[in-house]
Structure 1
Amino acid sequence: MKICSQEEGSLSKEARLLVVDDEERIRRLLKMYLERENYEIIEAKDGEEALEKALSEDFDLILLDLMLPGIDGIEVCQKLRDKKATPVIMLTAKGEETNRVQGFEVGADDYIVKPFSPREVVLRVKALLRRASTTKFLQTDTTMKNVLVFPHLTIDHDAHRVTSDDQEINLTPKEYELLYYLAKSPDKVFSREELLKDVWNYEFFGDLRTVDTHVKRLREKLTKVSPEAAKMIATVWGVGYKFEAVSK
């Protein structure tokens, strides 16, 4: 987003973030560091409040604690994904590895382990926002459009728009990035290690199951519209995944 000059009045905000944690000190710490980056911060102290705000208002990104009173972060993310593709970074404690995998399964884009460095949070937020809005302000001259067209699947990279059989598929930033990465190299096999390195980049440190859970969610979303499109993401047993230009 653009920032107006001080002569034009107050600075416009770079992005609108929802910070969800039941500990006030953590919300206050995150708010302090993120507001320094000119982000507008809205807070929620539990799952019910988080879900109500996330569904009724528009946010550019949500920082979501996994362990919340009442509705936990897993359920919040799951219900959010039924309606919206807002980028989500999950905040988790060290011993909650299984829960982190569950977080990816319900649509979280990244996670940060507590105790965390506020600087790391800022870097992760910036990275995810950058991925989510890479093409938001690109020119849409049809002569310059970057479109991948396959049977049953079209990816308009300039618009970050995926359609299958004329129906748009609502993907999270990470799901879209994974699909586009595979589709731009049809029939090339990528190991899980390669995908984790190239799609999640340096700012993410996770295990190989992260790739599997995202592929699973991607296939599920494609299957709802076109089972043929879902089959284009093929598993190469013992190696990883590839995108088959013609599904089998």
Structure 2
Amino acid sequence: MTKAKRLYVVDDDDEIRTLLKTYLEKHQFTVLTADSGETFLADFKAEQEVDLVILDIMLPGQDGFAVCRSLRTQSQVPVIMLTANSDEMDRIIGLEIGADDYLAKPFNPRELLARIKAILRRMEHSEVVEIAPVAHRFYRFAQFTLDTLSRELHFKDEKESLSGADYNLLMLFLTHPGAVLTREIIAENTRGRDSAPLDRFIDVHVSRLRQRLREDARQPQLIKTIRGQGYILTASVEAISDVRD
């Protein structure tokens, strides 16, 4: 029997926590809950057997942004952020600090379920690719090396762990060097849904990846914008199966 995926709902609204726990458990998930970021972080540090976190932004004490930042220092577990604020900036900040998706309140639980399943499918696929014997473990480009097993980006003597969203986007570019990737292609392959209302967030996502690659924001050289079309990785890419020289 397949082990049930473990979700963690962090929201100070008792009604929402109860609703989501009941609904998601009916769909064969194991659901843990917390009413504050502090409680969640302490529990996660002790447990860490969580497949996805559903995190409200407006929490007492540490808000969802602070919780997500703290979480990203110890784990790349997928995060869906919930916001009651329709302001675009909340959603952009969430993506910038490493959230994998966002959903504005009020929302239909079926939409949340669909997004959870889409993210978990992508995670399972990436895990299979990483451990497959024929998979490339390392990708070299410019002065960088990406380790697909640890999801660490190496630059000279420095290294940093990538969030799930940043890793997926970088892998998309590395496996399609020299190809123009439209926003629709980026959205479909990294977020699993139509990008029509999300152009701004795709741009922010690419901008965040450029920062990881030490790009000059005014004149990026590795990931260039093709006006009216999308983005292109200009660097040559070397794929290495299992040994980094």
TM-score under structure 1 normalisation? 0.78
Specify every segment of 5 or more residues in structure 2 that has no aligned partner in the other structure, as ranges.
215-219, 238-245
Asked if 1:26 corresponds to 2:46, the answer is no
Q: 1:205 to 1:109 in 2, by over 3 A?
A: farther
Corresponding residue of 1:65: 56
- Which residue matches 1:113? 104
Contact 1:160 1:176 in 2 (8 A): no
Change in Cα spacing, 1:107 to 1:140, as seen in structure 2 (3 Å) is closer
Counterparts of 2:197 and 2:94, CA distance in 1: 13
Instruction: Establish whether residue 89 from structure 1 lines up as the match of residue 93 from structure 2.
Output: no
The reply on whether 1:45 has 2:35 as its aligned counterpart is: yes
For residue 223 of structure 2, the aligned residue among 224, 233, 242 is 233
Q: Secondary structure at the match of 2:9?
A: strand
2-side partners of 1:194 and 1:152: how far apart?
26
2-structure distance, mates of 1:103, 1:194: 21
My pick for the range that moved more, 164-173 or 99-108, is: 164-173
| CA distance in structure 2 between the aligned counterparts of 1:187 and 1:54, rounded to whole angstroms | 41
1:74 Cα offset (Å): 1.3
Letter of the structure 2 residue corresponding to residue 62 of structure 1: V
Give runs of aligned pairs for residues 2-17 of structure 1, distance below 5 A: 3=2, 12=3, 14-17=4-7
Q: Check 1:138–1:28 CA distance in 2 against 1; reply closer, same or farther (3 A cut).
A: same
CA-to-partner distance for each residue in 1:184-215, whole Å, 9 max, x for gaps?
A: 11122334344234432327774222123322
Q: In 2 relative to 1, CA 207–32 (structure 1 residues): closer, same or farther, beyond 3 Å?
A: same
Cross-structure match for 2:209: 218
Aligned residues: 230
Instruction: For residues 47-79 of structure 1, give each alpha carbon's deviation from its aligned partner in whole angstroms, at most 9, with x where no partner exists.
Output: 222333334431211000111122111111122
Deviation of 1:222 (Å): 4.5
Distance change in 2, residues 1:166/1:134 (3 Å): farther
Taking the aligned partners of 2:125 and 2:132, their CA distance within structure 1 comes to 17
2:242 corresponds to which residue?
A: none
Instruction: Give the counterpart of 2:178 among 167, 187, 196.
Output: 187
Look up the SS of the partner of 2:15 in the other structure: helix
Structure-2 separation of matches of 1:195 and 1:69? 35
Which amino acid in the other structure matches residue 231 of structure 2?
Y
8 Å contact kept, 2:7–2:54 = yes
Q: Which residue of 2 aligns with 1:8?
A: none
- Counterpart residue number, 1:150: 141
Distance 2:130 2:213 in 1: 28
- Taking the aligned partners of 1:170 and 1:104, their CA distance within structure 2 comes to 16
Q: Secondary structure at the match of 1:123?
A: helix
Give the SS at the match of 1:54: helix
Work out whether residues 187 and 194 of structure 2, in 8 Å CA contact, stay in contact via their aligned partners in 1: no
- Cα 1:214–1:115 shift into 2, 3 Å: same
